[in-house]
Structure 1
Amino acid sequence: INDWHTVSCRLNIAANARAEELSLLQWIALANSIAPPPRPETRVTMDERFPIVDKHDHIVGYAKRSEVHGNNLRYRAVHILIFNQAGDVYLQQRSRWKDRHPLKWDSSAAGHVAAGESYDDTARRELKEELGVLVALQKIAKLPASQKTDQEFVWLYRGVASGDVVPDKSEIEQGAFLPPTVIDGWTSARPEDFAPGFLECWKTYRRQTRSRSEAQIFSHHNGAAPSD
């Protein structure tokens, strides 16, 4: 933010406020107030070919992007959640030029599996193209194709970036690292700010992390229990 003083005054935020001191409403207002200057439209290649799959995620053919989106066909995609060392998650705001869900907030990186690619190939490619980083990725869960995911089978990945991310300005309007609790509150208060696929991915991720935490607590308690 080039003129933080003006922005902080407009949003009634103390100029020296720390990130953890902002309320949920202040986070939302801040994220939605940062608008980059208009730029020339980046032409999306509508001739890209994607694998079309059946209800079991088996490839049954191929179609152009325009055909996939126009006919609501079932296909494959990846979503990646990138964390920093503090445990915050990078969210991107989708470019205004996207043919689906423009200007909605989304996963750190996401994209369609192209012809000849695996899910893992696509995750690495999208992360490099959109954020300019290559990190080790962990598979979290696979989401079934449904209306909530725009008929995409989605593999969800997680990774940790040790340095800065470099967003591709042709793909991303803006982005920010946010604490998971802030994302929880924001998605609950204003789900319309987000791409629907991200909402499903975030719900899945939070269920997974809660389940792991509960399992760890249970294991710890059992291990700490005195033996007879």
Structure 2
Amino acid sequence: MFTEFCEQIYKFPGAQRAARKVHMKLSDIRTALRKIRLSPARTLGQNFLHDQNLARWIVDQAQITPEDYVVEIGAGLGALTEFILEKGARVLAIERDARLADFLGTHLSHQRLEILNIDALKFDPRFLFAHRRVKLLGNLPYKISSALLLKFLQQPNPISLWLLMLQKEMAMRLSASPSTHDYGALTLRVQLHHRVKYLRSVPATVFFPQPDVDSAVVRILPRDPLELPERDEELLLGLIRVGFSQRRKQLRKLLRDYAEDWDTIAQRLNINPKARAEELSLLQWIDLTNFIAPVPHPDPRLTTSERFPIVDKKDRILGSASRSEVHGN
């Protein structure tokens, strides 16, 4: 239950004392892992960042202030956590491995640090609506990065910024532009409500143990809800899913169940009749959706005369009022 989760999250506060400095070099990481008897598991994405300059740079990109509530996914040994705390923010560190969670509680105790020993996929984001300024940072495990992304990007969402370390291939997919190899359904699904910026590549050598591939840092910001045209979002995502189901096929063949007269649609929308899915921009996908299923707009003559019930504190209907009376215009 959500209420039980909210109660659970506060069972892991750090001790009420100043944070201990634990900036770790590679030798310190090896020593700490031996001490807590942890052999890094690739299946859990346990690759520990040991480049302190990079860790500080990553945190700086989030522009954290004391007013922020920062959620850190996969806090590990605290490579980013300490730098976040130095910014004056409150931090919720989510760490699945109990040994690492205990290490953080012992070596990085702080009155502004809460530690939650849980799989991030089981975290309930609704808890975050209790906080006004939420930012999310983390080094996402490669095997579940897509699932975590979609979980924490789903709407509605109180998070104002995501700063994530991802597998480089995933970062390129999220930030891709049309007519590129990396541009796909995931790109559009994320960019529909967010702007993604690829900040920098990160070599495998800055981690222990070294992963098999390089990583990258991306910054994700929410779009203004009015930035893109209205659309039937369910239909839009359905068209995108079908369009990218066979990348080498032309859209005229893949979307024939939705658009019988493809040549007319292509001409009206200024789309290449032989276009494949990756050639259409997000705006063109929205235009295509709205051509197939135009968004209905209410008749202003009806909305001005529309009436709303007036209720008391016990929701008993007392009467009605027009839209202009309710909204004052």
TM-score for the superposition, normalised by structure 1 = 0.27
Bigger Cα Rg = 2
**Which structure is richer in relative contact order (CA contacts within 8 A, separation 6 or more)?**
1
Q: Which has the higher strand share?
A: 1
